């Protein structure tokens, strides 16, 4: 069976840990100047329907760093934008490239592509999940905290794609996760219930960010209006006003807590300037790790060396 990376909940702890450990090894080797060629002669297609800075460039840099080639295609400039079916697109692209990396709106788009593709389909963000991002976030947690099972983790803000992928990560690795989300911006109920049924530790959804952050060692925030929700920006600003991660809120966390933000950040909205630029913020290490985790993903999915499907 073809392996696709559509959501973290589809994988075992061993498989995800294997990707993170490989990314750590590739990062260390890059620092030492080691050159790789294991994807020489291989090509990926990036099929993006939403903007991107980090994910696009880090996937491209990762593929080149392993000796491979990249074709970028904006969905609206392709025949998809003129109504060509996903199932035809998946089968055609599979004849040309060794993996398809997709950023789109509906999760059903990546699922449909995966159903018909004969090469791996990698989810580079949908409205429902951002699995590759959360893998690089977990890598950053492992570097900073030395564990993926114990760090008390909090999510503050919108119950969005990132929150959903963090919930799945908590259920796979078994770390305690609290989310503070205003009504009606809780995470996806189906994802939450499935994760809770698998997780050895509680995944709790609270209203009060001060209650959720108490004692937290890993703190996550993200924009209040995701891509595609621009029309709701003003309304959301009002609802989320009390959810900003500022120095007062951060002071309630563990003193050694790290602050994660997948970026881009809206300073003065979900995070204050001083916290984003402060000593507890690891957002640029987190951004760098995207490239290493993407290299590990491309290597393991394209060569078929993924440790174990869950
Ligand atoms: N974090 C992230 O996915 O950033 P981009 O939207 O710039 O890719
Ligand atoms: N939740 C954000 C993440 C951006 C990387 C969005 O979907 O726009």
Q: Is residue 96 in a domain?
A: yes
156 φ, ψ to 5°? Answer: -120, 120
84 shares a domain with 167: no
Residue 278 lies in a domain: yes
> Residue 310 domain-assigned?
no
As averages over each run of 10 residues, the pLDDT of the chain (310 residues) reads 90 97 98 97 98 98 98 94 97 98 98 98 98 98 96 98 98 97 98 96 97 98 98 97 98 98 98 98 98 98 73
What confidence score (pLDDT) does residue 1 get? 57
Per-residue model confidence (pLDDT) at position 243:
98
**Is the domain of 99 the same as that of 171?**
no
Q: How far is CA 192 from CA 102, 195, 258, in A?
A: 24, 5, 24
How far apart, in whole angstroms, are the C-alpha atoms of residue 259 and residue 271? 10
What is the rounded distance in angstroms from the CA atom of residue 130 to the CA atom of residue 115?
19
Q: Please state, in angstroms and as integers, the Cα–Cα distance from residue 284 to each residue in 4, 18, 123, 232, 278, following that order.
A: 28, 23, 22, 28, 12
CA distance 91 to 98: 12
Exposure of 197 by Cβ count < 10 A (0-12 exposed, 13-18 middle, 19+ buried)?
exposed
Atom of ligand 2 nearest to the CA of 226: 8
From the CA of 290, give the closest atom in ligand 1: 1
Please tell me the number of the ligand nearest to residue 54's CA: 1
Atom of ligand 1 nearest to the CA of 51: 6
Give the residue among 178, 175, 167, 127 at the shortest CA–CA distance from 151: 175
Ligand 2 pocket residue status of 286, Cβ below 6 Å: no
214 with 240, same domain: the answer is yes
- Ligand 2 centroid–CA 310 distance in Å is 26
Q: What is the pLDDT of residue 309?
A: 47
In terms of domains, do 79 and 143 share one?
no
Count CB-CB contacts under 10 A for residue 248: 11
**Domain match, 111 and 210 both:** no
pLDDT value for 94: 98
Q: How many domains does the structure of the chain reveal?
A: 2
Same domain, 190 and 96: no
Report yes or no on 308 lying in a domain.
Answer: no
86-96 and 107-116 helices cross at what angle (nearest 10)?
50
Q: Is there an atom of ligand 2 within 6 Å of 168 CB?
A: no
Nearest CA to ligand 1 atom 7: 53
Q: Are residue 190 and residue 125 in the same domain, yes or no?
A: no
**C-alpha 303 to ligand 1 mean position (Å):** 25
For ligand 2, say whether the CB of 132 is within 6 Å of any of its atoms: no
Q: How far is the CA of 277 from the centre of ligand 1 (A)?
A: 19
**pLDDT of the residue at 310:** 45
Q: Assess whether 83 and 94 both reside in one domain.
A: yes
Domain match, 69 and 198 both: no
Q: Is residue 3 part of a domain?
A: no
**Proportion of the chain in helix, strand, coil states, percent, rounded to 5:** 45, 15, 35
pTM above 0.95, yes or no: yes
Task: Establish if 58 belongs to a structural domain.
Answer: yes
Identify whether 2 is part of a domain: no
User: Who lines ligand 1 at CB under 6 A?
Assistant: 52-55, 125, 133, 262-263
Residue 65 Cβ < 6 Å to ligand 2: no
Q: How far is CA 162 from CA 31, 38, 79, 94, 262, in A?
A: 29, 31, 29, 28, 8
On whether both 47 and 105 belong to a single domain, the answer is yes
Residue 229's CATH number? 3.40.50.1370
- Rounded CA gap, 78 and 66, in Å? 27
> Residue with the nearest Cα to atom 3 of ligand 1?
55
Tokens matching residue 293: 């985790």
Cα 89 from Cα 78, distance rounded (Å)? 10
Statement to judge: residues 82 and 168 lie in one domain? no
Residue span of the structural domain in which 161 resides:
133-286
Residue 226 in contact with ligand 2 by CB distance below 6 A = yes
**Is 99 a pocket residue for ligand 2 (Cβ < 6 Å)?**
no
89 domain residue, yes or no: yes
Ligand nearest to the CA of 162: 2
| Same domain (yes/no): 57, 195 | no
């Amino acid at each position: 069976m073809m392996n696709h990376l559509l959501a973290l909940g589809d994988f075992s702890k061993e498989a995800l840990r294997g990707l993170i450990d490989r990314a750590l090894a590739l990062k260390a080797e890059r620092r030492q100047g080691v050159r790789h060629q294991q994807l020489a002669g291989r090509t990926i297609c990036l099929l993006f329907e939403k903007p991107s800075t980090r994910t696009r460039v880090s996937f491209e840099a990762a593929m080149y760093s392993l000796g491979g080639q990249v074709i970028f295609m904006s969905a609206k400039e392709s025949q998809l934008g003129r109504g060509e079916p996903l199932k035809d697109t998946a089968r055609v692209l599979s004849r040309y490239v060794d993996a398809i990396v997709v950023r789109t709106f509906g999760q059903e788009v990546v699922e449909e592509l995966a159903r018909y593709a004969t090469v791996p389909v990698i989810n580079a963000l949908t409205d429902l999940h951002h699995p590759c991002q959360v893998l690089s976030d977990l890598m950053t947690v492992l570097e900073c905290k030395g564990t993926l099972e114990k760090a008390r983790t909090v999510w503050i803000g919108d119950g969005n794609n990132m929150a959903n992928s963090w919930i799945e990560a908590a259920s796979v690795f078994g770390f305690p996760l609290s989310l503070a989300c205003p009504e009606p911006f809780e995470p996806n109920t189906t994802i939450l219930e499935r994760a809770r049924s698998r997780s050895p530790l509680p995944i709790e959804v609270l209203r009060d960010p001060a209650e959720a952050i108490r004692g937290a060692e890993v703190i996550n925030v993200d924009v209040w209006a995701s891509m595609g929700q621009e029309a709701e920006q003003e309304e959301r600003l009002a609802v989320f006003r009390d959810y900003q991660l500022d120095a007062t809120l951060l002071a309630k966390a563990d003193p050694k807590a790290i602050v994660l933000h997948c970026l881009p950040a809206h300073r003065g909205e979900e995070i204050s300037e001083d916290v984003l630029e402060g000593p507890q913020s690891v957002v640029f290490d987190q951004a760098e790790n995207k490239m290493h985790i993407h290299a590990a993903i491309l290597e393991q999915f394209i060569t078929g060396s993924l440790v174990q499907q869950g």
